[in-house]
Chains A and B, each alone.
Chain A
Amino acid sequence: MENNENLERLTNIVADFTSLVGKRLPDDVAAKLEELSERETNPMAQMIYKTMAANQEKAWELNRPSCQDTGLIQMFVSVGSKFPYIDELADVLKEAVFRATQKAPLRHNTVETFDEKNTYTNVGTKSPWLYWDIVPGDDRVKIHVYMAGGGCSLPGSGKTFMPGEGYEAVVKFVLDLMTSYGLNACPPLMVGIGIGTSIDSAAYMSKLALMRPVGSRNGNPLAAQLEEELIDAIDKVGLGPQGLGGSASVMDVHIENSARHPSVLSCAVNVGCWSHRRGTIVIDSDLNYELLTHKGVEL
């Protein structure tokens, strides 16, 4: 009985957190937008940043999702092997998305493939999409909740290059994407890049890269340097907010990498829009929670 009550509580915590993510940007993203806004010199871009800020304020004040596209929910789950609700967690997360859909309310964005029917619940076959990671010995769970909007999911793509094409091909692939699809994905963008041995691992890493806080750098100094060079390069293209021109194009560029087979160099890119609705919550075995991305907010 007590177990049921706890599961109910856990479900509601994740549901409330998911609604929160739709209404308020994480602290790091909000701070970055403010910084870009202050740094901006192009009057049109300044006006757009102001409009964005006004929208976020209104969303919070009126308790509404800040963008009409509340996306499809994806979660990265790092669960401790001793977390007491590990067995039920997958079901809990699905139910939480269902509840958030009613409460927030989130737009109905889940369309079953092949049947091509909207489920009207935001849950469906393998949806929410969950990535699992088991942490040995830990008794907590850490979840990144991400709302993948349609516009910012569209640029997602990848390619496996021959090593002879080198990292030159990688940077060209990234830049080409910025001036084609990136433009309409509501810049300033979060750019996630995965570099590794096959397209699936690169794709996974490119999305994981978007979960990192703004301003964080890859642990490998060369990769970290490339992150900064790419920020600089993409900013120089000058996409500006909404792709209408301005002194910045990105909020950040994150690279995640793995070792590769000598014969291949895989690269994948995922982008997040300015309304980068990502949240990270840690829940312990007594169901106390901490919101790493939304400090000072109570669920």
Chain B
Amino acid sequence: MKKVLHTPVSAEDLKDIHVGDVVYLTGHITTCRDVAHRRLIELGRELPIDLDGGAIFHAGPIVRSTKNEDGTETHEMVSLGPTTSMRMEKFEKEFVEQTGVKVIVGKGGMGPNTEAGCKIGPAIHCVFPAGCAVLAATEVEEIEDANWRELGMPETLWTCRVNELGPLIVSIDAEGNNLFEQNKVAYNERKEAVLSDLYEKVHFIK
């Protein structure tokens, strides 16, 4: 059965979610990456949006904006792909604490700082399969808000209404378990085993 989280997400909602689970998100998610993290944490600037119980996407999307007759703009999501979450690692614990964000979506693993943040929040970090940006874009029903436009297209905070955005693979759960770290241990063990076999096969220099 499809597990769908709805924003605002509560601590209770995250209780039974574990690393390796697949979830989908319905409600709102805002793109939020390097500069937004830096502004909030390093420069102490308040975010222009309320993320309590909300979701962020580490992504730099491609958006097509058209001017309407009344001067307002309509934005269409063309491409929404995750960017490497690890770049936000050093900010994420404080980010979770300060904003109350509950779901962080990105690419690849994150580290101990985010694990700590997820435990305190509580919050979860999920991976959206990278390279699948068109699919994610089609799961956006509408871009409802755009803040900090001066940062340019990739860094703007685009608030999207989404319908079952996913698959989102839980990589850090609210207990701070970290799927990528667990996998890394297994990969390194297997690597040592295959290397000792390989060494025997490459005695080309005799």
**Smallest CB gap from B166: residue in A:** A51
In whole angstroms, how far apart are the Cα atoms of A61 and B197 in the complex? 46
**Smallest CB gap from B190: residue in A:** A237
B80 close to A (CB within 8 Å)? yes
Q: A168-B202, A237-B191 are in contact. Are A52 and B131 (CB under 8 A)?
A: yes
Among the listed stretches B40-48, B143-151, B179-187, which one makes contact with chain A, having 4 or more residues with CB under 8 Å of it? B179-187
Q: Could you tell me if A55 and B133 are in contact, using CB atoms closer than 8 angstroms? A: yes
Contact of A241 among B129, B134, B195 (CB under 8 A): B129
**Smallest CB gap from A170: residue in B:** B202
In whole angstroms, how far apart are the Cα atoms of A105 and B131 in the complex? 16
B84 close to A (CB within 8 Å)? yes
In the complex, which residues 220-245 of chain A have their Cβ closer than 8 Å to any Cβ of chain B? 222, 226, 229-230, 232-234, 236-239, 241-245
Interface residues of A, CB < 8 Å — how many?
Answer: 53
Q: A51-B129, A68-B81, A175-B191 are in contact. Are A245 and B201 (CB under 8 A)?
A: no
The total of interchain contacts (Cβ-Cβ below 8 angstroms) comes to 143
B120 close to A (CB within 8 Å)? no
Q: Could you tell me if A51 and B135 are in contact, using CB atoms closer than 8 angstroms? A: yes
Q: Could you tell me if B134 and A59 are in contact, using CB atoms closer than 8 angstroms? A: yes
**Smallest CB gap from A65: residue in B:** B79
Contact of A64 among B79, B190, B204 (CB under 8 A): B79
Q: Could you tell me if B134 and A48 are in contact, using CB atoms closer than 8 angstroms? A: no
Contact residues in A for B183 (Cβ distance below 8 Å) = 183, 243-245
Contact residues in B for A68 (Cβ distance below 8 Å) = 59-62, 79-81, 133
A166 close to B (CB within 8 Å)? yes
Q: Give residues in B with beta carbon < 8 Å to A.
A: 20, 22, 59-62, 78-81, 84, 86, 107-109, 127, 129-135, 137-138, 167, 169, 179-180, 183-184, 186-188, 190-191, 193-195, 197-199, 201-205
A-B contact pairs, 27 of them (CB 8 A): A47-B22, A51-B129, A58-B135, A59-B134, A64-B78, A64-B79, A65-B133, A67-B81, A68-B62, A107-B79, A151-B130, A166-B202, A166-B203, A171-B202, A175-B195, A176-B191, A183-B180, A183-B184, A183-B187, A186-B131, A226-B202, A229-B201, A234-B194, A242-B129, A242-B169, A243-B108, A275-B131
6 more contacts with CB within 8 A, not counting A52-B132, A55-B129, A175-B198, are: A58-B134, A59-B134, A64-B79, A65-B79, A107-B79, A237-B190
